[in-house]
A and B are shown apart, each in its own frame.
Chain A
Amino acid sequence: MSGKNAGRVNPVYTAQLGHYRDAQAAFASERSGDPEWLVGLRANAIDRFAEIGFPSTRLEEWKYTNVAPIAKDALVLRDGDAPEIEGAESLSSAIARDPEALRARFARCPASKDRAFALLNDAFLANGWWVSVPTNADVGAPIHLRIDGAAAGEVLHPRVLVDVAPGARATVVIELEGGPGLTNLVADIEVAANASLDLVLLQASEGDARGEAGFQVSTASARVARDGRFRSHTLTTSGTLVRNDLDVLLAEEGADCELRGLFLGSGSRLIDNHSAVDHAVPHCNSRELYKGILGGRSKGIFRGRVLVRPDAQKTDATQSNPNLLLGEGAEIDTKPQLEIYADDVKCSHGATVGQLDEDAVFYLRSRGIGVAEARALMILAFANEILDALPEGVASDAVAKGLQAVLEEATS
């Protein structure tokens, strides 16, 4: 963007930059004893963030999502250590135990570059977990990371690292609790050769029927090695403004990924799911299915990008984004994109926007099922395609409650 254009950006996106700079300086001085690489990482990030500010809707990636409600306030950092969880080590103890290993690990994370929220997370990097699944281990029960919501006027910057060693298998659940503040999660995932990971991102606060759960931003990136398998499940039923970025790099032949998502909008929520799959090498598969159900005056956004690089022959990629638009003022903006530079590939994408089939509703009613119940049944059936594929041991009760809120709104 040229300098002149940047000048036209609403000042709300840059208003609090000084605040975050000061907060970061205070934060850094408290942690002067941290390893040099970490201090450097934070300093570079805050410098870059101060340069670019919060993203405006003039940016293609943020065209439909206005983050002014987040950018306008000077949010205060909520500090505190992550609790120890079985199967996960807190970042602070990992850094104290083996700073060199962590330095090497962070060096492998993709640079945050122009991603304002990821930069902000980098700048306040301290909290979070490192989940490391050893070679050939099969972790039966899901590793459940629960992140408490931020209070009003507060911001949290949790960081999660997930490494699945060769041949290992695991399920990791990251649950973002509700809270009126901002939760700004960054996750970095490495799936080694022959390993398999199911990652569940759960944004389904109980008792958040009308969107008191505040702002949730997540930036996740995953790299999948030879014959590795990565499945993600992104379930969003709470939050007033939710933005999820998920980038997957299929880095070696035979890598496979499946991205699934369900977003339920009620009230005046805004839920934005951005995903990108990078087919960097031949013989990789990707499957993507995000379903949206939007009631009330909620707004849903989906962007899916599949990139097939010049040598990535024999790629098989599909992408689908069906949406149910139920509310009178509801809106969906969807951008399924294919970018293909190889010829021997099979790629497709589809997106639909529609309503419940009135014929089917009529059929159910003719069988003696009430109209509200008939509609609820059909909405549930639509959502179940995602819920049924959740890994074992992941309770979807919270999602079911979110679904209930949408149902009530849609059928009332």
Chain B
Amino acid sequence: MSEAGNEQLEKLARSEYKYGFVTDIDADQAPPGLNEDVVRLISAKKKEPAWLLDFRLKALKRFLEMLETETEPTWAKVSYPSIDYQNIIYYSAPKAQPQLEDLDQVDPELLRTYDKLGISIEEQKRISGVKVAVDAVFDSVSVATTFKSELEKQGIIFGSFSDAVQEHPDLVQQYLGSVVPYADNFFATLNSAVFTDGSFAYIPKGVRCPMELSTYFRINAAGTGQFERTLLIADEGAYVSYLEGCTAPQRDENQLHAAVVELVALDDAEIKYSTVQNWYPGDENGKGGIYNFVTKRGACRGKRSKISWTQVETGSAITWKYPSCILQGDDSVGEFYSVAMTNRKQQADTGTKMIHLGKNTTSTIISKGISAGQGQQSYRGLVSIGPKATGARNYSQCDSLLLGDECGAHTFPYLEVKNPTATVEHEATTSKIGEDQLFYCRQRGISEEDAISMIVNGFCKEVLSELPMEFAVEAQALLGVSLEGSVG
């Protein structure tokens, strides 16, 4: 590519992480280490019922066993120095636990943080028309919930996970761990033992959630791993669209993030879960980025239910994430739309699992990977058609775009078909931006930078168009920012 392109690429590569800052708030935190005391402390701080403490302790026991037998997963195509799980602070909360009715009560420092992130709560409260409820997770405690009462009118329960445990323990007990069991995998087990907070939503029968639910996660306080637990339940005939966005302050020390997200869709219910992930990816030497080891899974329990995952992954030093759908109900639908971008030394091993169990189940996988700099990324996916899943249908498409000669793009699909009525299609391509495409744009007077941005946006269009309006704009801007410095 041309000299100018290279320069452009280098400039973009050097561009600083936009959201790198640390908020100075005193944190109330547990001593580093993982043991029964810490788990009991977390549970006590949250005033949790006994069954939840049991759940945590079972998970802790299993996790310590896993640590013993070295079953930390190594199959993913990522490499990182081994993590000392006994040197992580598992609980930290802002000292003043605000009971919020009014935004004036919120620590002004916090509000400034949100302003910097561009999610001013005041503004959101002011805006009429598009209503977006934000349950902002600041470190491990939810500090602000808006529009809650409006949702309550419709019978929708939406709030922090801890509040849900207090107010709707029966619902939490019924569904917690029903999609991702406490011993599911290494990181999910860790999460089950020490999760601090997250979001909970329940949409009652026949209710169409009137607004997009969204949460902004943020990691703060040095050396604090964050372990969210999210549980979303759409009862019969309900619909909900949930948005999740992430940014994190710039740090030198690697921060571990192991979240668990569980979705349950009953008969005729639909859940749309969208993520824009832009955590700190580390500096140009790959130092200091977030480790994002997430277990996300949705169960289409009911007939004609639908779960759709959309993700735009541009941040994190390491991403290890496979949002999955278990298609149990007949005629249920699973979808996965993903754009993953790795730049500098980022590594991403991401994909999905579509487990077809019910009759006439359908799944679609569209995955777009963009690899630049020295980024490495893998698509790893499973499409499994069970012996009883007659009439199952899957279509998968995984495309990779390579920018630069030091990056890598890999595809590891697994198709397991045990039913002769199934139709499964998978295709994948890997290529670079065509010189002729670029040339065409340039001879029409479009600069190289704009042309590349255009081509990349076109490459991702199928996925971006799946995002809710609010996110689509942010995602496009994010791709542009992340692409900066990678084009050449």
Contacts and interface: CB of A to CB of B under 8 A. Distances in A.
Partners in one complex: yes
Interface of A: 2, 4-5, 60, 64, 310, 313, 323, 325-355
Interface stretch (B246-254, B345-353, B416-424): B416-424
Contacts of A344: 405, 432
B70 A355 contact: no
Contacts of A345: 402, 430-432
B16 to A, nearest CB: 25
B442 to A, nearest CB: 19
A70 B428 CA distance: 36
A342 B405 contact: yes
B422 A348 contact: no
A354 B424 CA distance: 6
B423 A335 contact: no
B123 interface: no
A337 B416 contact: no
B373 to A, nearest CB: 11
Interface stretch (B47-55, B220-228, B407-415): B407-415
A348 B431 CA distance: 9
Given A340-B409, A354-B424, A4 B70 contact: yes
A2 B405 CA distance: 35
B68 to A, nearest CB: 8
A275 to B, nearest CB: 15
B417 A352 contact: no
A168 to B, nearest CB: 34
A331 B427 contact: no
A343 B405 contact: yes
Closest 8 CB pairs of A and B: A343-B402, A353-B424, A350-B427, A348-B429, A325-B420, A338-B411, A347-B430, A341-B408
A333 B382 CA distance: 10
B403 interface: yes
Contacts of A351: 413, 415, 424-427
Contacts of A354: 422-425
Interface string B68-112: 011100010000000000000000000000000000000000000
B423 A348 contact: no
A128 to B, nearest CB: 35
Nearest to A341: B408
Contacts of A313: 405
A176 to B, nearest CB: 28
Given A347-B430, A348-B428, A327 B411 contact: no
Contacts of B295: none
Contact of B69 (A4, A323, A325, A333): A4
Given A2-B70, A329-B387, A352 B426 contact: yes
B289 interface: no
Interface of B: 69-71, 75, 385, 387, 400, 402-432
Contacts of A341: 407-408
A349 B429 CA distance: 6
Contacts of B416: 64, 331-333
Given A310-B405, A325-B417, A353-B424, A339 B410 contact: yes
A360 to B, nearest CB: 15
Contact of A333 (B403, B414, B425): B414
Contacts of A337: 410-413
Given A332-B415, A335-B412, A335-B414, A352 B424 contact: yes
A67 B75 CA distance: 22
Contacts of B403: 343
Given A340-B402, A355-B421, 19 more contacts: A2-B69, A60-B75, A329-B418, A330-B420, A332-B416, A334-B414, A338-B410, A339-B410, A340-B400, A342-B402, A342-B405, A343-B403, A343-B405, A344-B432, A345-B430, A347-B430, A351-B424, A352-B423, A353-B424
Most buried by B among A313, A343, A346, A349: A343
B415 A335 contact: yes
B411 A332 contact: no
Contacts of A335: 412-415
13 contacts: A310-B406, A323-B417, A332-B415, A332-B416, A333-B417, A334-B415, A344-B405, A348-B429, A351-B426, A352-B424, A352-B426, A353-B415, A353-B425
Nearest to A331: B418
A344 B418 CA distance: 38
A345 B70 CA distance: 38
Contacts of A325: 417, 419-420, 422
A262 to B, nearest CB: 18
Given A5-B69, A313-B405, A333-B414, A338 B421 contact: no
Contacts of B413: 335-337, 351
Nearest to A326: B420
A162 B412 CA distance: 32
B185 to A, nearest CB: 15
Contacts of A355: 420-421, 423
A335 B384 CA distance: 12
A328 B420 contact: yes
Nearest to B378: A339
A353 B424 CA distance: 5
A350 B417 contact: no
Contacts of B410: 337-340
Contacts of A64: 416
Given A340-B400, A340-B402, A333 B387 contact: no
A313 B432 CA distance: 11
A83 B411 CA distance: 45
A354 B418 CA distance: 11
Nearest to B407: A343
A366 B420 CA distance: 25
A208 B316 CA distance: 56
A355 B392 CA distance: 12
Nearest to A346: B431
A377 B409 CA distance: 40
B402 A353 contact: no
A347 B424 contact: no
Contacts of B425: 350-354
A60 B77 CA distance: 14
A342 B430 CA distance: 10
A361 to B, nearest CB: 15
Contacts of B75: 60
Contacts of B423: 352-355
B404 A349 contact: no
Contacts of B417: 323, 325, 331-333, 353
Nearest to A325: B420
Contact of B408 (A323, A336, A340, A348): A340
Contacts of B409: 338, 340
Nearest to A349: B428
Contacts of A336: 411, 413, 426, 428
